[in-house]
Each structure stands twice: as structure tokens, then as C-alpha cells.
Structure 1
Amino acid sequence: MTYREPEYKEGRGWGEPVMSDPSHSCKRYNGKNVVVTAGTLGIGRAMVERFCEEGARVFLCSRKAPNVEQTVEELRKKGYNVGGTTCNVGESKEQEDFLRAAIDFFGEERIDTLVSNAGVNPKAGPTNDMTEEIFDKIFNINVKSYFVLVKLAMPYLKRGSSVLFVSSVGGFLPSPPLGLYGVSKTAVIALGKVLANELGPMGIRVNTVCPGVVRTKMAGMLWKSEDADGAAKKNGFLQRFGDPVDISGIAAFLCSDDASYMTGESVLASGGNMSRL
């Protein structure tokens, strides 16, 4: 592997987030069909690229058509077998259409890996200051859409298929000013565990990856702040923020046959922050 951790340079910050490291030699997804929601930016985009690098056929979605078109075009230029469509995961009908489009793209009614990655946090602040509308939006996207996606995908998930949820380090200790966001991510961890229990006898695995602070657009206020270097040094044992590539490799492992005896797990990837025994 040639990935090098980001270096902080005074006055210039951390540089661009690292999205991929194609130097690895893994090819665990040859012939596999992979579906990823919110797959055009940040961690979602990095996961799509990693699955593609390992030989998968990947179908992705995003709310915005230009993002889908640009991502698909860029990855196809690299020789990857990838397609995509628009989808607001907060609408069950759109998720149904998204999965149907994926099946049409694959040419067979089989999904080997299903990744639910969408997440929102429309407002930060004290929990009691949040409106019911904000609460509903957070839980509709961050929790309900995960439940709906798996439910709709069940006809295409076969023995040996895997499901991956994307939660957060905040799911282990929800705290201000992202209290409701953290609570929603706790719910995602719990949903993954109960589905792993129920789907295990069918040979379908369900795991959750819980990133710490990763250099994405959503976390920009942390890693782009004036005290970004100081904040990074407080962010765990590695004293740096994560890059999307740090999560994509973990996702690829959890969904592969290398993790065939792992299910119901919530894997924390936070550079040492909130590490557990």
C-alpha cells in the first residue's frame, strides 16, 4: 500500500482528502454486484471506488443528477463497471426505483453487497432547541431509509450476501452540538444488530462501520477550522483526522468473504478516539 497519512502544513492546512489507494492487490469482488447509496461524495465515493478497484459491478445513487453523472463518467474513464441514478432515500418509492434500476444494470436479480450510507445533519445546537421537523428529517434519512432499503432489497439478497450500514463514532456517545445526529447513529448501530440476528439464519450478514472525524464536506467545520491542527491532535491516538480512504478499505473487508464469520458488529474507525476494550 502506498497511502500516506495527511501532513498538516502551517498556513496551508491538510491538503486535499485522500479518496483512494489503488496500489492494493485485492480482487475480492470479481463478479460481485454492489449497491451504494449516497455514493458520489466523501466516504460513499471512496467506498464505490474501492469496490470498483476490487472488480465489482457497482450501482450508486445521489440526490443530484450532476453528481451522479460526473461520478459515473469519472469512474468509467478508469475502466470501472459502474452505473447510477438519482434517488432521495427519504422517499420509499425512489428507493424502490433505485434498486430496480440497479438490478437492470446488473442484468440479474442478485445483490451481493448492499451499502446504506446516506446521512444528514441539517442543524447543530442544543437538542431541546431542535424542531420536530428537524428531528423527523434526521431520523427519516439516517434511520428509516436504512430500514426501508434493506426491506426493499430482500428479494435480491441471497445466502452469502452482506449489508453494511454507515454509522458514526457519535453513535457510541451522542453529545452536543450534534445530539440528535448522534442518537440517530446509535439507532443505526442497533438496527444493524437486530437485522443481523434476524437475517443470520438466511446466510445474510449485517455489519456497521462507525467512522470518527473524516475529512468530508459534512465535517468541514472541524478539519478546515483555524485550529484544525490542534483539533486533530485531540482526535485520538493517531492525532490526525481520517480520510475517506481510511474507511473504504474497512468497508471492503467487512463486506467480503474475508469477514464471512462477522455479523452484527459495529466497527469503530476513529484513529483511537473512543477506542474500546
Structure 2
Amino acid sequence: MGNLTGKVALVTGGGRGIGRAIAQRLAADGALVAVHYGHREGAARETVGLITDSGGRAFALSAVLGQPGDASALYERLDACLRERGEPSELDILVNNAGFNIPGGIAAVQPQDFDRLMAVHAKAPLFLIQQALERLRDAGRIINISSAATRVAFPESVAYSMAKAALEALTRALARELGPRHITVNAVTPGFVKTEMNKKRWCAPEDEAAHAAYSVFGRMGWPQDVADIVAFLASDDSRWVTGQCVDASGGSFL
């Protein structure tokens, strides 16, 4: 493909699931991909191995998001890794994918859980973008991975839904602010995807069938379904698309 040749991409939470698929697809399109991880070094290095074995370029770097100084720590490591490869400390594509869920309705949600979800899904992307701007080349791409839970009622994960809604508000605000630099800012909103995080939704055949039925296509999503959309938003083909939340739920809940 090669339409991202010469580009540098950072994918947070790139060790597994949707993040791994995104990292692989961006590398297949020619980008040098920084695969970020928080705790699962083995998974991130496996992602890097899959990319390099296929002829792509990637490296892993760690930073625990949701903690004070997380963005600074991540970019210090990114800059060091780029210098080691003879690359300038510049970035073309930032994918804010890292995330997790703590299920709970209004009666069950705890303050500490709410704080953790907001810290990783809303606060960390805000400051990752803030500190990326001095590195991000003009006509760069910022892509935030949100959730279809912002479009439909999802009371069993109320705090998670709120955190993702905050990320979408950030997406729209920054699209307006960064337009003069031709930097696009978009969000992608997956539905039920067959990842480790969602395993309880598909590990039993009857559970998978129930969740597949929400989509007009009668199946759950695969990480590659989301990665292909992200690849479009990362490419020059998406230059006229910004401030949008692109539904990647397979038509769920229509």
C-alpha cells in the first residue's frame, strides 16, 4: 500500500485487541509505528514482532496512563526511541486507543472507578495531544477511539460512557482549533468487538449470538474492522474529514 511511507505514528494501548490491529495496519501502509503499552510489555513486543516479521517498522515504549506526568514520560521515551533510529522527534499520526472498562450502573459506580476511567479515557488524551502539538507535523492526524456507548443508552457502564463522551467533545473542539494547521481530529466509535476486553460477550456461543444480533450484519466486529477505518482517517484520503465521530459498530442498534 505505502500511502503512509515516511510517516511516524503513535498508537496508545497498541499491544493487543483493536490497538494491535491499528498498529499492524498503519505499519502495513508504510508508517513507522510506536506501540505504546502500560503494563503488558510482552503483548506490545509481540505486536512489534508481528509487524517486523511482515516487513514493517515498529518499536515498543511504555508509560502508565492516568498518572501524573504520564504524557511527559511517554514523549521522553518516544523521543529517545526515535533518536536511536536516526529519526527526528516528530509525529504525523496520534491514535488515542488505550482504554479499559469498569462496568457498573448508577448504583454501583464508585468514585475511584470514575476517576480512573476519566483519567485514562479523557484526561490522558487531552494532555497527550497538548504535548504532541510541538511534535506533530502540519497536516497530521489525531484519531481518538471512542465507543458506540456514547450514541446509545448503555447504563451498565455509565462511567465508561461518560468518559468516552468527554473524548468526543475533545475531538470536536480540537478539530476547530487545529484546522488552520490542516491537522484533522476525528473519533471512531466501535460497537461490540471480539477483543480480550469484551471476552465475556463472546466466549460462549449464545453470548456471541446475542451481541452479533445487534449489528445489521449479524456478527460481532473484528479489530481489523476498526483498524481499516482508522487507516483511512490516517491517510491523505481523509483530508476533508474532521471533527467527526465515525460509527464503527456494524450498524448496531439501528
1:55 aligns with 2:30: yes
Please give the TM-score of this superposition, normalised by the length of structure 1: 0.85
Alignment correspondent of 1:115: 95
Determine the C-alpha separation between the residues in 1 that align with 2:153 and 2:88.
41
- Match for residue 269 of structure 1 among 239, 248, 254: 248
Alignment correspondent of 2:174: 195
Q: Which amino acid aligns with 1:61?
A: H
CA displacement at 1:121 relative to structure 2? 1.3
Alignment correspondent of 2:122: 143
CA displacement at 1:94 relative to structure 2? 3.3
Alignment correspondent of 1:81: 57
The count of corresponding residues between Structure 1 and Structure 2 is 249
1:240 aligns with 2:219: yes
Instruction: Answer whether contact 1:88 1:95 (CA < 8 A) is retained.
Output: no
> Which has the higher mean CA deviation after the structures are superposed, 71-80 or 184-193?
71-80
Q: Which amino acid aligns with 1:194?
A: A
Which consecutive residues of structure 1, in runs of 5 or more, have no partner in the other structure? 1-25
CA displacement at 1:226 relative to structure 2? 4.5
| Cα gap change, 1:104 to 1:70, in 2 (>3 Å) | same
> Which has the higher mean CA deviation after the structures are superposed, 196-205 or 99-108?
99-108
Determine the C-alpha separation between the residues in 1 that align with 2:123 and 2:179.
21
Deviations 1:154-190 (A, max 9, x none): 1011211010000000011242211111111111111
Residues 1-277 of structure 1: matches in 2 within 5 Å? 26-64=1-39, 65-106=41-82, 107-122=87-102, 124-275=103-254
Q: Which amino acid aligns with 2:45?
A: E
Determine the C-alpha separation between the residues in 2 that align with 1:152 and 1:268.
27
> Which has the higher mean CA deviation after the structures are superposed, 144-153 or 227-236?
227-236
Instruction: Answer whether contact 1:92 1:148 (CA < 8 A) is retained.
Output: no
Determine the C-alpha separation between the residues in 2 that align with 1:261 and 1:90.
32
> Which has the higher mean CA deviation after the structures are superposed, 66-75 or 142-151?
66-75
Instruction: Answer whether contact 1:110 1:156 (CA < 8 A) is retained.
Output: yes
Instruction: Answer whether contact 1:196 1:263 (CA < 8 A) is retained.
Output: yes
> Which has the higher mean CA deviation after the structures are superposed, 58-67 or 34-43?
58-67
Determine the C-alpha separation between the residues in 1 that align with 2:58 and 2:228.
18
| Cα gap change, 1:229 to 1:141, in 2 (>3 Å) | closer
Alignment correspondent of 1:4: none
Instruction: Answer whether contact 1:166 1:209 (CA < 8 A) is retained.
Output: yes
Q: For 1:175, what is the secondary structure of its paired residue?
A: coil
Please give the TM-score of this superposition, normalised by the length of structure 2: 0.93
Determine the C-alpha separation between the residues in 1 that align with 2:43 and 2:72.
20
Percent sequence identity over aligned pairs = 30
Q: For 2:33, what is the secondary structure of its paired residue?
A: strand
Q: For 1:155, what is the secondary structure of its paired residue?
A: coil
Q: For 2:107, what is the secondary structure of its paired residue?
A: helix
Q: Which amino acid aligns with 1:67?
A: A
| Cα gap change, 1:233 to 1:153, in 2 (>3 Å) | closer
Q: For 1:146, what is the secondary structure of its paired residue?
A: helix
